[in-house]
Chain A
Amino acid sequence: MSTALGTLPLVEVLDRHPAVADFVKVLGLPAAPAALTLAQWLDELPDEAFFDVGMERGQMLDHLQRLVEEVRAMESSADARIDSLTLIGGHDKQGRMELVELTFRAGDIVCIVGPTGSGKSRLLGDIECLAQGDTPTGRRVLINGREPTQARRYAPDRKMVAQLSQNMNFVVDLSVREFITMHARCRMVVEPAGMAETVIACANALTGEKFAPEVSVTQLSGGQTRALMIADAALLSASPVVLIDEIENAGVDRKRALELLAGGEKIVLISTHDPLLALRGARRIVIRNGGISEVISTSERERANLQRIEQIDAMLMGIRDRLRGGLRIEEELEWPN
């Protein structure tokens, strides 16, 4: 195989394989006359050129070949689709067995409730790493009823589980458009720029404070950041399971956010005490003392209450928007009955 890549003209290799072109560019290797093949070009480079970029002559062609194969593998591997995720109980902090086996299906929304320090994050962590009895809780996670393969557990760029945590930061200093386009490229989307516009529009539909694609990600407010990450997770992330550590009330339309994620056939688990979220899921898992103590199915009466809570929330959101717009709130407020 490696000889085959070597016999192609350099120009063609660079043109056909952007990852190779990028690699050569980052290394800063000197350009070559157009007619040379890749192997001829490498032959003509002095030893010093290889050493300066931290490669040996013999390693270069092999590395490029592996790079081409890796990109091909990423392109051809279909996104992991899963129908179900099963959580098999382990034990709580005192070693008491959790006698539960829970199965979540694509499109399910499941909430996790419990006091601070009770072990909600630990549960999310177990799912995130697809625990196989090898974490402190002894829990196990099955995908489509089976133990996940090693390859599934060790594919860090397309993990089964995406996690939107509260304490995240943006490290890059890019505009929102550049940022999402960069993600789309890594996901090998055919039209990264178009996808970025879709994600940004979708995020803007979730937040009361709209933002432009040109704004830097580091300048986004908490709510805008959350909206962007939810839209990205729903539309662009490879992960069929999304874990969310609370959606703050920072001007994010939580109902639409959940509909968006669940509509994308994702399994959504949220650690939350927000009534709008907690009552929207079909079930909620109650955590006490590091273990699952109960699984509550949302009742009809709770659903009816959810509707009222939604009306109250909509009213509060309206007031929030008016305050943002510099208006007064002086009229007698009429709360929904």
Chain B
Amino acid sequence: MQLITVAGSPSVGKTSVILRVAELLRQSGLKVGVAKFDALSTVDDELYAQKGIPVAVGLAGSLCPDHYFVSNVEDCLAWGERQGFDLLISESAGLCNRCSPHIDGVLAICVVDALAGVHTPKKIGPMLRLADLVVITKGDIVSQVEREVFAFHVRLANPGAQALFCNGITGQGATDIVQHIRAAAPTPSLDGSRLRFSMPAAVCPYCVGETAIGETHQRGNVKKMRFADLEAAR
């Protein structure tokens, strides 16, 4: 079986792109499943079900979605094996621009949204920088100039990576993604595999439910903002 990680900020169109890609993969006779990771709730599993694509849903709830992802990805792989998939696509939302579910040796796709503005590629961290393939959505509703500038910034943010446009509504561009997927290596096991980058760090009382505000509650991994006027006075 082959695993593919697809990541992108909320509402960029990951599910639409995956649906288009999965449809094409199935037409070519492959059995495709999706592991959908989300934070609080999702209805995307219904979209997959409508298309007859088997889906396993994981909701991170109060946990960091990325930590939740990495603790469950092996179980997803095992589920895929049990179901007899040829291909398992994991879909996870990068909520803080610091996320990166990408794994060494596993095809990593990052979905970005041209509507987000031309400077967005600069702001996204390892999720974009360390992806093998960058898929740009919603290119049809921005100007030709912004399309070119956006793609240029994607190229600078992840030099050397492949990038392409895909329209999640019409499916234009999905064929190209499928070609990349079919050329990627299988994933027999994740045992001993490593993430391409560490997960966001967070260990403080607020991680485990503290709600009170004030210096006395700030313990553990706490970082403070710096203000220019205070710096100057020092």
Contact = CB atoms under 8 A, between A and B. Distances in A.
Do A and B belong to a common assembly? yes
Interface of A: 19, 22-23, 26, 51, 53-56, 59, 63, 66-67, 69-71, 74, 125, 128-129, 134-135, 153-154, 156-159, 162-165, 167-172, 179-180, 182-183, 186-187, 225, 229, 232-233, 237-238
B145 A229 contact: yes
Given A69-B159, A153-B176, A158-B148, 15 more contacts: A19-B156, A54-B126, A63-B129, A134-B175, A135-B175, A154-B176, A156-B136, A156-B154, A157-B148, A165-B140, A167-B141, A169-B143, A171-B146, A182-B118, A233-B144
Contacts of A56: 197-198
Contacts of B117: 171-172
Interface in B82-110: 97-98, 100
Contacts, number: 121
B225 to A, nearest CB: 13
B172 A125 contact: yes
B39 interface: no
Interface string B142-156: 111111110111111
B164 interface: yes
Contacts of B173: 129
Contacts of B170: 125
B222 to A, nearest CB: 13
Interface in B106-143: 114-118, 122-123, 125-126, 129-130, 136, 140-143
B198 A66 contact: no
B188 interface: no
Contact of A168 (B136, B143, B197): B143
Nearest to B178: A134
B48 interface: no
Given A51-B198, A186-B149, A237 B144 contact: yes
B155 A70 contact: yes
B163 interface: yes
B163 A54 contact: no
A54 B98 contact: yes
Nearest to B180: A154
Nearest to A64: B159
25 contacts: A23-B122, A51-B198, A53-B125, A54-B98, A54-B100, A54-B129, A55-B197, A59-B130, A59-B197, A63-B129, A69-B159, A70-B156, A128-B172, A129-B176, A135-B172, A154-B163, A157-B149, A157-B154, A170-B143, A171-B114, A186-B148, A225-B143, A229-B144, A232-B144, A232-B145
B37 interface: no
B159 A179 contact: no
Nearest to B140: A165
Contacts of A158: 148
A157 B151 contact: yes
A167 B114 CA distance: 14
A277 B140 CA distance: 23
Interface residues of B, number: 45
Nearest to A69: B159
With a 10 A CB-CB cut-off, give which of A157, A158, A170, A187 has the most chain B CB atoms.
A157
Contacts of A134: 175
A186 B145 CA distance: 10
Interface in B181-203: 197-198, 201
With a 10 A CB-CB cut-off, give which of A54, A154, A180, A225 has the most chain B CB atoms.
A54
A164 to B, nearest CB: 6
A51 B155 CA distance: 22
A156 B149 contact: no
With a 10 A CB-CB cut-off, give which of A22, A53, A129, A237 has the most chain B CB atoms.
A129
A128 B136 CA distance: 15
B69 interface: no
Contacts of A187: 148
Contact of A183 (B122, B129, B149): B149
B159 A129 contact: no
A239 to B, nearest CB: 8
B144 A162 contact: yes
A67 B159 contact: yes
A52 B197 CA distance: 12
B160 interface: yes
A129 B97 CA distance: 30
Given A128-B172, A129-B172, A167-B140, A183 B165 contact: no
A286 to B, nearest CB: 23
Nearest to B127: A54
A71 B117 CA distance: 21
Nearest to B149: A186
B41 interface: no
Nearest to A56: B197
Q: Which 4 pairs show the lowest CB-CB distances between chains A and B?
A: A54-B125, A70-B159, A157-B151, A156-B151
Contacts of A74: 152, 155
A183 to B, nearest CB: 5
Nearest to A150: B179
